[in-house]
Amino acid sequence: MTNNNDNTVPSQAAAGPAAQAAASHAAEVAEAREAEQTSGAPPHPLVDFWHYFSENKGAVMGLFAIIVIVLAAVLADVVAPYAPDEQIRTALLVPPFWAGGTGGYIFGTDDVGRDIFSRIVHGARLSLFVGLLVVTISLAAGIFLGLLAGFFRGWVDVAIMRAMDIMLAIPSLLLAIAIVAILGPSLTNAILAIAIVILPHYVRLTRAAVITEAGKDYVMASRVAGASKMRLMFDTILPNCWAPLIVQATLGFSTAILDAAALGFLGLGAQPPTPEWGSMLADALQFVQRAWWVVTFPGLAILVTVLAFNLMGDGLRDALDPKMKR
């Protein structure tokens, strides 16, 4: 165990831009290790978690990528050399600097002279915001419905779960398109549509976890002690259901970002000139034949972000799932 912790520290220090956040983790690990050596008590749950999580190199890479993206999104105004909607009329379709471009446009400019790098950095802010909002909405609604279904069972359970089954029968993108077609194309409606579409996963997970937990002795003890239904649901049972939900929430981020980009690409999500990665790609469609950089970078941003969240989700699942622990 100590051996493994030793391995993680240098790999964190080597990760340049993300070092800040990682350093705090490293300190945490080192600190706890010391405590462990002196007292011999079982490791703090967080240390235990980090031990399993850091065994998965892909997951650690994903985490660092996410830290970089979050930093870029938060500091977008500092990082981006131009405003996302600033049109430099003298620099239309300038290629990236290594392909013969000039003027300090790292990823080149688009057809109306907007700096692509700046738009991607501001797009990161938008994409993460979309992901956060979608996951928050569907997690909150999903936990609530799942708790109701798993705790009360009976007709409440049947009504909620059959409704979720119907939603699961239709592929998520198709359902999202259907909802946006009804509500009208806009970023807000796209967010709402994606949140509705991924809701069933959270409801099912919560319900399954609640049913498992509700039969355990500690819940019975709490019930006998006279805890109210609300207290049993939210205070006794819910804290023990978090692990699968955290994993699903991480994966929900990647689904949300990917679907939002797909809707933006189809013209059903964010509308121009919003610097959204998907709608940037849609704008670039007509320049496929002569300006590859307009197409390449927004898509790369989507891929890297989605991949990072998927990698981290896999790592979290391994670290949080007791069945996987050896």
Partner 1 sequence: MLNLIKALLGLDKPLWQQYTLYLYHAIQGDLGLSIVTKKPVIEEFLTLFPATIELTLCAMLFAVTIGLPAGIWAAVKRGTAVDHSVMAVSLTGYSMPIFWWGLLLIIFCSVTLGITPVSGRLSAEYWIDPTTGFMLIDTLLSEEEGAFADALHHLVLPAIVLGTIPLAVIARMTRSSMLEVLREDYVRTARAKGLSPLRVIGVHALRNALIPVITVIGLQLGTMLAGAILTETIFSWPGIGRWLIQSIARRDYPSVQGGILLVASVIITVNLLVDVLYGIINPRIRHTR
Q: Which is nearer to partner 1, 123 or 150 (CB)?
A: 123
Q: For residues 63 and 70, give the distance between their C-alpha atoms in angstroms, rounded to a whole number.
A: 10
> Contact residues for partner 1 (CB under 8 A)?
58, 169-174, 177-178, 180-181, 185, 254, 258, 261-262, 265-268, 278, 281, 284-285, 288-289, 292, 295-296, 298-300, 302-303, 306-307, 310-311, 314
CB of 247 to partner 1, least distance (A): 15
State which residue, 18 or 302, has the beta carbon closest to partner 1.
Answer: 302
List Cβ neighbours of 13 (8 Å cut-off, separation of 6 or more): 19, 22, 23, 26
Cα 64 from Cα 19, distance rounded (Å): 9
Closer of 105 and 265 to partner 1 (Cβ):
265
Q: 144 or 287, CB closer to partner 1?
A: 287
Please give the full DSSP string across 52-72, using - where no structure is assigned: HHHH-HHHHHHHHHHHHHHHH
> Quick one: which H or E segment has residue 146?
helix 116-152
Residue with tokens 């977008």: 76
Cβ 180 to partner 1, closest distance in Å?
8
Output the six-digit token pair for 150. Answer: 């798993």
230 Cβ contact list (under 8 Å, min separation 6): none
Q: Considering the complex, state which of residue 104 and residue 171 has its C-beta at the smaller distance from partner 1.
A: 171
| 132 and 309 Cβ atoms separated by less than 8 Å | no
| Comparison of 8 and 310: residue with beta carbon closer to partner 1 | 310
Structure tokens at 184: 């009208």
- CB count, 10 Å around CB of 42? 9
